[in-house]
Structure 1
Amino acid sequence: MRRKVRFTSGGDECVGWHYPGTNGGCVVMAGGFAVTKEPGTDLFAHRFHEAGFSVLAFDYRRIGESGGSPRQVLPLKDQLADWQAAVAVAATLPEVDPARLAVWGFSASGGHIFRVAAENPRLAAAIAQTPNADGVAAARNAARYQKPSAMLRFVGRAILDVLGGLAGREPRLVPLAAEPGTVAMLTTPDALDGERALNPGGKYPQWRQEVAARSALCLGFYRPGRHAARVRSPLLVLVCEEDRTALVQPSVDAANRAPRAELVRLPGGHYEPFLGGHERALDAELSFLRRHVLAAAPATR
């Protein structure tokens, strides 16, 4: 049903799953920030594949099965470069029509979709699911759900991590999500749903649910929604009304700036598309892919 594919980005090896499809379309996918390809994409990738689409779901460098060191350090510019490499590889897959490529991401990777689509105007479609379109606004909101002393400890650890990185030391890691008062990347109420949404029953024990503190801090200054006006491809932005991790309004604003955007609103929190709202999210995304990817004019190889 799927096989491993390997490609190079920035001198390191990225590893992905390739699901060969039957309709010529291909969806390139990545998990959220520090979320590996299996917990981050399996639920949607299998269904896209069942609908006839090829899928290329990959790990960013320095996490999961991909190469690169130090581990769990995720510079945003490197993730964006990994997207470019993955899109280029997807266009060469034997059953894929390069005119029928789409990209899909959620959370921080959903934010990347604005940048990736803006820089690849020939994409047939792009899907940003509960995207973090404005890291500054999200960080400001996240502070409401964290204790001041824990926030100060987090910033201190991030600064020490930056300095340690310059000296070649091992990264100082923080959990991706935890209860308020814990030094963690996120303590928002719906961030705590991530375990049951992405890793039910501990299904993916190899997934390291931690990230370098310096990388988590940098995400708070990232504002990819500003690039939405440059997206020329059809763009689907899916938001959840009670999202406290990636705020709704910045994503709605980004959709309004994109010339060919469609906006879908669902009830629930950040991970609702992986939980009770999965079928509704999937129906909206499959409908979008069929209308835009399969309608794209075939390319001449």
Structure 2
Amino acid sequence: MVIKKGVAVALLGSKGFKDMQDEASEKSHQERVDEICDELDNNLYTEVIKKPSQKAAEQSKKNQHEDAVKEQFREQERRRQIQEEERRIEEQIREEEMRREEEQQAEQRAKQQKAEQQRLQEQARLQEEARSKREEEERLRREEERKRREQEQKEETERILAEEEERKNQERLAMKQQSAVLAGRGGPTNSMKPTLMGAATGSKSSFGKLTKKMVKEVAITKEEDVPLDIDLEGGTDSPLGGKIVVSEVFYGGAVDKNGEISRGDTILKVNDTKMENITLTEAQEALWKIEQQTNIGGKIVFTVAKSEIQQESDITFF
């Protein structure tokens, strides 16, 4: 208050307050001083206390605003980071889901491929079984057909052989009726050695000692539907004394086509079967069996002693 009053007195004495002194004529000097002091006090309060407080408040408010802005920025940054993290997590989740989906699809494809492979294998197995079954059925059918043909061929062969045998029997009967008797049939006992009648009287073909030059092996190839077609004579039950002789070679047969066996040749062996010292029936049966057992294209080997008679027309039997 002392300072205020001193200032008020100085102001009252200044030229600026001249008009105020004129007005103070109506008031006391003390009252005027008090008013000036109050005014100064108010001004001083405003300048010294109030204004700094306002500035401090404004600065605080400004700082608070800045802090709020910074906090808002930090909050936005946190939200952005959170959003980025969420997006990253979502992306990872999507990638994981896509990976799992791809794995599931790959597994599904693998299962489908395996199932398809199994189906194809099963289909191939069934086809192979069907093919094997068809082949087996075809084999059985061919086997039955072969057996049927063989049976038919056998029956046909037997029929042909029977007819041929009948024909040959008729021919033999006719030939026997027309042929000459063996030479020396009316002679002594030691001259009864069988011989075939030749062209001239007393010309004989010996059935005794044979030489290598007389013996020959002839291989006949068996052909389909082509029989050997030869006729035999002799045997132990004939005057030929156990020898088996070719009495006829029929035209078109396998022996005729070969051309190396002639009428009058003596058959010593066929393959491994000896044809000596057996009956004519045994010889015919043995030759027939050998012919039936030989496959088409196989060989039937005759071991024969060639006849010394040059002209087959000169050879006669009994």
Q: Given the two structures, how large is their TM-score scaled by the length of structure 1?
A: 0.17
Larger Rg belongs to? 2
TM-score computed with the length of structure 2 as normaliser: 0.17
User: Which structure exhibits the higher relative contact order, with contacts defined as CA atoms closer than 8 Å and separated by 6 or more residues?
Assistant: 1
Larger strand proportion of the pair: 1
